[in-house]
Amino acid sequence: MPYNFSHIQMRDSRINSLDIIHGYEYIYRMKKIYYLLFILFLSSCSGKYIDMYNDCYIDYYYGYDFSNGIVDSLHPINNDIIVQNWYPYSPPDTTYPSHDGFLWFNRSDNSTISIKDLGIVKTDTFKDMSGVAFDSIDPVIKENHLYFIRVKDGYIKLIVTAVSPYSMEVWGEYQYSSSEVFQ
């Protein structure tokens, strides 16, 4: 009597079909996992210009203390710079009239500020700032510009992210260094 192998072949074909289905399910699950990891990676990325930079808010009254990373509202004279809507030095800058929607940085103790507007930059490649000559006329504060500023107890690189001329407020991201060389 001949042996019937049809049930074995059928069983083998079901196993193969199930293996294929399990393979597709595995690929589908792995795609979901990779997608979730990708979303997690994107959400963990900072909106900051550069991760080594800190956020800051500078206004006309208190200003900001960059070495301590705070607004010292108890002792505003400890803050490094403030924002004002009139040109702080003589002779006045006639290109941008005072009280006409423009802002400038000034030292909180009204001493002369040392500042350099490096313009709009795509990436921060400025590490050694020792050769930078400060501007002779204080530049107007502009969004997306990188400024190199000597503060009371060091130096900062400040990227202005937003300017509100009417409320005299500036938001930015900065990196502080006690010397002209940054990490």
Q: Is a pLDDT exceeding 70 seen at residue 64?
A: yes
Judged by average pLDDT, the poorest of 22-26, 54-58, 148-152 is 22-26
pLDDT of 171 strictly over 80: yes
Alpha carbon 96 to chain centroid distance? 27
Tell me which amino acid residue 160 is: V
Torsion angles phi and psi, residue 127, rounded to 5: -110, -50
Per domain, the residue ranges of the chain are: 1-45, 54-177
Tens digits of residue pLDDT in 28-61 = 666 666 555 545 444 444 444 456 788 999 988 8
Q: Do 58 and 83 meet the contact criterion of CB atoms below 8 Å apart?
A: yes
SS (H, E, C) 1-49: CCCCCHHHHHHHHHHHHHHHHHHHHHHHHHHHHHHHHHHHHHHHCCCCC
Most confident of 4-13, 72-81, 159-168: 159-168
134-143 average pLDDT score: 88
Residue 155 pLDDT > 60: yes
